[in-house]
Amino acid sequence: MDRIELFADGACLGNPGPGGWAYLLRKGAKEKLDGGKVRYTTNNCMELAAVIKGLQFLKSPRVVHVVTDSRYVVDGMTSWLANWKAKGRLDKSGSKPIKNVELWQKLDELCQKHDVTWEWTKGHAGHPENERVDQEASKQALAAKALRKGADQ
């Protein structure tokens, strides 16, 4: 299987507020940068969306190394997910679904297709690819803020 690097970030102007997501896929010297916007969302939703959109772009199974500055995403996938699944994706109280359950389910489904590893990097600390996706996600969030009509992308 081909090895792919996926750098992902989300941004939100206010939380909740207008948001943007971005990913950078890299295979050798080839790169693909993409992003999108949502008129009203949360930062955590955008962090999840960035990884989901990047994995969705891959049409066949791959070995994927995900790098993100979101502890929420990394901890969710490497630590919390197994417990959530065992509890029927309910929160600690066992009485209501975890936040962003649909996004977590989609991400979990995509990770079953690919061989995914996770790496957290500190945001705004000079990591070149993290800076690139942060800039794109922020640009998308600003574009979402400017939206007056139309569908989210």
Could you confirm whether 134 is annotated as catalytic? yes
Q: What is the pLDDT of residues 31-83, one digit of tens each?
A: 999 999 999 999 999 999 999 999 999 999 999 999 999 999 999 999 998 88
What's the confidence (pLDDT) of residue 153?
54
Q: What is the pLDDT of residues 80-101, one digit of tens each?
A: 988 888 888 888 788 888 899 9
Range of the domain at 102: 3-146
Whether 55 is in a domain gets the answer yes
Burial class (CB in 10 A: 0-12, 13-18, 19+), 13: middle
Place of tokens 């010297």: 29
Instruction: List the catalytic residue out of 28, 88, 124, 126.
Output: 124
pTM for the model stands at: 0.93
CA distance 1 to 18: 37
Whether 19 is in a domain gets the answer yes
Whether 23 is in a domain gets the answer yes
Whether 151 is in a domain gets the answer no
Could you confirm whether 115 is annotated as catalytic? no
DSSP letters, the chain, are --EEEEEEEEEESSSSEEEEEEEEEEETTEEEEEEEEEEEE-HHHHHHHHHHHHHHH--S--EEEEEES-HHHHHIIIIIHHHHHHTTSB-TTSSSBPTTHHHHHHHHHHHHHSEEEEEE--TTS--HHHHHHHHHHHHHHHHHHH--SS---
Whether 33 is in a domain gets the answer yes
Could you confirm whether 123 is annotated as catalytic? no
Whether 7 is in a domain gets the answer yes
Instruction: List the catalytic residue out of 69, 76, 114, 129.
Output: 69
Whether 34 is in a domain gets the answer yes
CB 108 within 8 A of CB 55: no
Q: Cα-flanking dihedrals φ and ψ of residue 26, to 5°?
A: -135, 130
Instruction: List the catalytic residue out of 19, 47, 114, 129.
Output: 47
CATH number at residue 110: 3.30.420.10
CA 113, 9, 133, 27: dihedral to nearest 10 degrees? -20
3-12 and 63-68 beta bridge pairing: parallel
Please give the C-alpha separations between residue 91 and each of 94, 96, 97, in angstroms, as whole numbers: 5, 6, 6
What's the confidence (pLDDT) of residue 97?
87
Could you confirm whether 69 is annotated as catalytic? yes
Whether 153 is in a domain gets the answer no
Number of domains in the chain: 1
